[in-house]
Amino acid sequence: MPGIDPAITVHWLYVDTTFLPIKQKKRNFSDEKNMMIREEVQTLLKANAIRELKFPKWIANVVLVKKT
């Protein structure tokens, strides 16, 4: 996340190269859920909390969690 010193916190994704990536089947969401996903992604992009990466060999589906 921008502005946080890496000495405080760093996120690393450790990947064991002996395992092959698993490609999930693409899930289809309703129009309402797609709109919610797009809005949240745009919010995170504007805040520089996420960035776009392209992985042509595998995907991970979005998981929606209802806020309480």
Q: Residue 38 and residue 68: Cα distance in Å, rounded?
A: 20
* pLDDT at residue number 67: 82
- Number of structural domains (the chain) is 1
Note the pLDDT tens digit of each residue in 15-57.
888 988 777 788 899 999 999 999 999 999 999 888 888 766 6
Q: What are the angstrom distances between the C-alpha of 39 and each of 14, 24, 28, 45, 46?
A: 29, 23, 17, 10, 11
Among positive and negative, which fits the CA dihedral 33, 65, 55, 57? negative
User: Is 66 inside any structural domain?
Assistant: no
Given a cut of 90, whether residue 62 has pLDDT beyond it is: no
* pLDDT at residue number 37: 93
Q: What are the angstrom distances between the C-alpha of 65 and each of 1, 7, 39, 44?
A: 22, 31, 15, 16
User: Is 68 inside any structural domain?
Assistant: no
